[in-house]
Amino acid sequence: MAMKYSSVVFCLILSMFSLVFLSCDNDNEKKDEIGILTSKAWKRGMIDKNPSTNPSYMESKTIYYAVLNCEQDDSFIFSSDGSLVINHGSFLCEEDKNTEEKGTFSYDKTSNKLTINGLEYNVLEITDVQVKYSLNIPSATGYSYLTYMLQ
C-alpha cells in the first residue's frame, strides 16, 4: 500500500512540475512589440527576411522602399517613452542635413498601426529580426502600398 501511495504522490508531483513548466512564458517568444522595437538600433532593410508576412491582397500592389546608398548607415533608435532618434550616419543624403533627427512614435497593438512623426503605417511584422510596415500610397503610381523594413 505504501508503494502504491508513493507512486501516486510521485505522479502528482511530476504532473504539477510539468504543468508549471508548460505554463511559464518564454520571455524571448512573448516579448511585446514595444519591447522588440526598443531592444536595439535598427537599420533600413533591403531584403525582406519574411515575405510570408505580406498579406495576399498586397502581393501585386506592393513596392518596397528603395534604400538609398546614403541611407544604408542610418539607424533608428526607438525609446520606451515614445521618442525616436534617427542617426543618419557618416553618409548624408544632403550636405547640410543634421546627422541626428529626433521625433516621436507610437504603436497601437489593437489597430496594428505604427505612427512615426505623425505619419501612420500598417504594421506587417514586428519580430526580433525585422520590423516591416507599409504606407498606403496613391494608386496612380501603379502600386497601393510602399513597404519599409528595419532589420
First to last CA, the chain: 62
Taking the C-alpha atoms of residue 4 and residue 103, their distance in angstroms, rounded to an integer, is 67
In a domain, 16, yes or no: no
Q: How confident is the model at residue 3 (pLDDT cuts 50, 70, 90)?
A: low
User: pLDDT (tens digit, 9 = 90+) per residue, 96-125?
Assistant: 778 999 999 999 999 999 999 999 999 999
Domain that holds residue 44: 32-150
pLDDT for residue 129:
97
Query: Residue 4: its pLDDT value, please?
Result: 54
User: Does 70 reside within a domain?
Assistant: yes
**Which pLDDT band holds residue 28 (cuts at 50, 70, 90)?**
very low
Quickly tell me which residue has 546627422 as its cell: 99
pLDDT number for residue 2: 54
pTM: 0.77
Question: pLDDT tens digit string along 72-94?
Answer: 999 999 999 999 999 999 999 98
Report the CATH number at residue 51. Answer: 2.40.128
Shortest CA distance to 77 belongs to which of 50, 116, 113?
A: 116
- SS3 label, residue 81: coil
Q: Is residue 126 situated within a structural domain?
A: yes
- The helix/strand/coil state of 47 is coil
Q: Residue 6: what are its φ and ψ, rounded to 5°? A: -70, -30
Quote the number of domains for the chain: 1
Residue 10, in any domain of the structure: no
CA separation for the pair 81, 73 (Å, rounded): 24
Whether 45 is in a domain gets the answer: yes
**How many other C-beta atoms can be found within 10 angstroms of the C-beta atom of residue 92?**
15
The reply to whether 90 falls in a domain is yes
Higher pLDDT, 45 or 28: 45
